[in-house]
Amino acid sequence: MRSRVVGLALPLALSVPLAAGLAGCGGDEPEEPSATVSSTVSPSASTTPDDRDSPGESSPPTPSVAPATGQLVELQSLSFHLTEGEWIGSRVGISVAVSQELDDLVDLFNVSAGDIATTTTDFEEVKEVAANGNKQTDPFLEIADDRVIGGVDVWVFTGKDGDHTVYEIGGVHGGHTFTLTFDWPTAWAEGEQRVEEMLASIEWSQG
């Protein structure tokens, strides 16, 4: 099996069952509040869109799917729920990386998420920086159409890495640049649906 950490995720320092208290791991941490994963599912709250201009009519609408209701991942700019099932993962500073075993395929479904404080609010500028970074580290990723999730514009990079599909979104919200990356075996028919369920569960910070 393989595990792939992408986007803003930092090198993994540990690997433990999420239910064992992943959010509390890590001793000396930077002053920037850390990303956390919680096994407590909180009720959905209303979302607050970014203060940037509303996206144009050309932006694809967010698909209508039932939001994931599994364990909660919290960053500074957003939170979202994982899909149901057992996840193994770790937290390092501002980043979270988790994986779920797919027994039928003897493979992994990987999710990584992170954000970092930024002084820019220019979506296109940050997107260009991310795209240039991917050219160096993940040249197989291609720029797809931007999306709107809960009133916030996000960029999309996607592509095939061997026998895996990689789908990455990112953007700027609440003074942070954020990235969520999903990596699953292309042969897994449920992969895209699971990703959409997690994206549908995103709630944006009020800051």
When pLDDT is cut at 50, 70 and 90, the band that residue 21 belongs to is: very low
If you average pLDDT over each of 3-7, 25-29, 64-68, 107-111, which comes out highest?
107-111
Q: How many residues does the chain have?
A: 207
Mean pLDDT of 119-126: 94
Whether residue 154 contacts residue 181, with contact meaning beta carbons closer than 8 Å, is answered with no
Contact (Cβ atoms closer than 8 angstroms) between residue 32 and residue 94:
yes
d(CA 31, CA 93): 9
* Calpha distance 143→183 (Å, rounded): 16
pLDDT at 131: 95
Position 57 pLDDT exceeds 50: no
Asked if the model's pLDDT at residue 37 lies above 80, the reply is no
What confidence score (pLDDT) does residue 63 get? Answer: 52
Res 105: pLDDT: 87
CB 37 within 8 A of CB 16: no
pLDDT above 70 coverage of the chain, percent: 69
Domain ranges for the chain, please list them: 16-40+66-204
What is the C-alpha to C-alpha distance for residues 175 and 5, in angstroms, rounded to an integer? Answer: 24
Residue 65 above 70 pLDDT? yes
User: With 60 as the cut, is the pLDDT of residue 2 above it?
Assistant: no
Look at residue 6 and tell me whether its pLDDT is greater than 90.
no
| pLDDT for the residue numbered 9 | 33
pLDDT in tens, 138-150: 999 999 999 999 9
Question: What pLDDT is stored for residue 206 in this prediction?
Answer: 87
Given a cut of 60, is residue 27 above it in pLDDT?
A: no
How much is the pLDDT for 103?
86
Q: What is the pLDDT of residue 193?
A: 97
- 16-40+66-204: which CATH topology? Protein Transport Mog1p; Chain A (3.40.1000)
Q: What is the mean pLDDT of the chain?
A: 79
Distance CA 64, CA 206 (A): 23
